[in-house]
A and B are shown apart, each in its own frame.
Chain A
């Protein structure tokens, strides 16, 4: 692969990029972040809902029970 593309891909998958995205998100006041979230969510419900929940991994049940929750 072109080394420039490889470098770009590595950056896109990096923790550095996640931290930069988080820094940008936190520049917004929390009430603005939640207002933006409401708009994203209104778009989400316009799409067909999945007909199942994402299955829990087999070992999650025991962990959830120890946290006082069923699975």
Chain B
């Protein structure tokens, strides 16, 4: 039996159950960051699902089949309130992001299939969508992750796509998200 004591194994298990249930998904967070260049420790797995609201029970079913522990009613309320809910799988917590927004259509379209350590290909957020999420939150650790992402991907990033969404989520010209993106582009991309 697989030991569920690391975020990579847990993300893979949940992703496989989503695949079984034909639920479009993408692995994000630190695991996506590792896929695009830089590994770092994490206790948590992040996965986004791209669904219509009426498919939320199917997401719950898939997670239960994967052995995740959570309360359905509370999870549904959390999605309503904050667009994500947390489940426990072994010793790892997984955040499941569910939102119904034009950015999700773009993120689903751009996600990438990446081969993991067990030889199975699974869906990951694109580096650009990972950057958009990190820029939205912009905590000190997000800024550090962004530096690692830009250092690894440099000129390969679609900066104009990132900029379009950053301008949508940060409409004010002086928002620090716009300044952070400009700074990253100047430091790590030759085009900057």
Contacts and interface: CB of A to CB of B under 8 A. Distances in A.
A63 B102 CA distance: 14
A49 B35 CA distance: 24
A41 B82 contact: no
Interface string B134-159: 01111101000001100110100000
A71 B100 CA distance: 15
A40 B5 CA distance: 11
Given A33-B39, A37-B31, A69 B188 contact: no
Interface of A: 15, 18-19, 21-22, 25-26, 30-45, 49, 54-57, 59-60, 63-64, 66-71
Contact of A67 (B43, B82, B136): B136
Interface string B24-48: 0000001100110111111100000
A64 B136 contact: yes
A58 to B, nearest CB: 11
Nearest to A36: B39
Choose among A26, A43, A45 the residue with the greatest number of B CB atoms under 10 Å from its CB: A45
Interface residues of B, number: 57
Contacts of B91: 45
Contacts of B133: 67
**Top 4 A-B residue pairs of the complex, sorted by shortest distance between their CB atoms:** A68-B101, A35-B117, A70-B82, A22-B152
A39 B117 CA distance: 11
A32 B39 CA distance: 11
A9 B99 CA distance: 43
A64 B83 CA distance: 10
B99 A69 contact: yes
A57 B84 CA distance: 18
A27 to B, nearest CB: 11
A42 B91 CA distance: 10
A40 B138 contact: no
B168 interface: yes
Nearest to B78: A70
B42 A44 contact: yes
Nearest to B153: A22
B112 to A, nearest CB: 10
Contact of A54 (B82, B115, B132, B141): B141
